[in-house]
Amino acid sequence: MYWTDLLIALLCLSTGPLLAQEYTLQQPTSELVALRGTARLPCTLNTGIAKVYWYQFKDGSTPRFVYQFRSPQDQGAGPGFSSRFSVTHNSASNTWHLVIEEADFEDAADYYCSIYIKNADT
């Protein structure tokens, strides 16, 4: 491993009221990214109907809200996160990618993908 490589760990978390149907998230456990490279952190869900949130966790710090994505018209970065952070969605595979461009050492952290699915009856 070179000093210029970053290790970004991925974890998943499911939140929100779950319906009778069971929902599952899948994420790899880590991603190795070259310094100034582009990280594409996947989150795959067994349904395409969800609002997806990403959070950043660093040791000794409180979790930070990174990004939310519901649709191309309803998305945005959290406070303090620049335009280097974005989310793409592949509806065919129900996969969302948190994209971090120009990755830097400050981006090394655990990133959690979280979903919210609203029950139509509530």
Write out the chain's pLDDT in tens, 122 residues: 333 444 444 444 444 444 445 666 677 777 888 899 999 999 888 776 778 899 999 988 999 999 999 888 889 999 999 999 999 988 888 888 999 999 999 999 989 888 887 655 44
User: For the whole model, what pTM was predicted?
Assistant: 0.76
CATH number for the domain harbouring residue 77 = 2.60.40.10
Into how many domains does the chain fold? Answer: 1
Q: Is residue 50 part of a domain?
A: yes
Q: Which residues of 32-60 are buried (b: 16+ CB within 10 A; e: fewer)?
A: ebeeeeebebbbbbeeeebbbbbbbeeee
Domain with 39, as residue range(s), is: 5-116
Q: Is residue 121 part of a domain?
A: no
Q: Is residue 122 part of a domain?
A: no
| 3 state SS for 102-119 | CCCHHHCCEEEEEEECCC
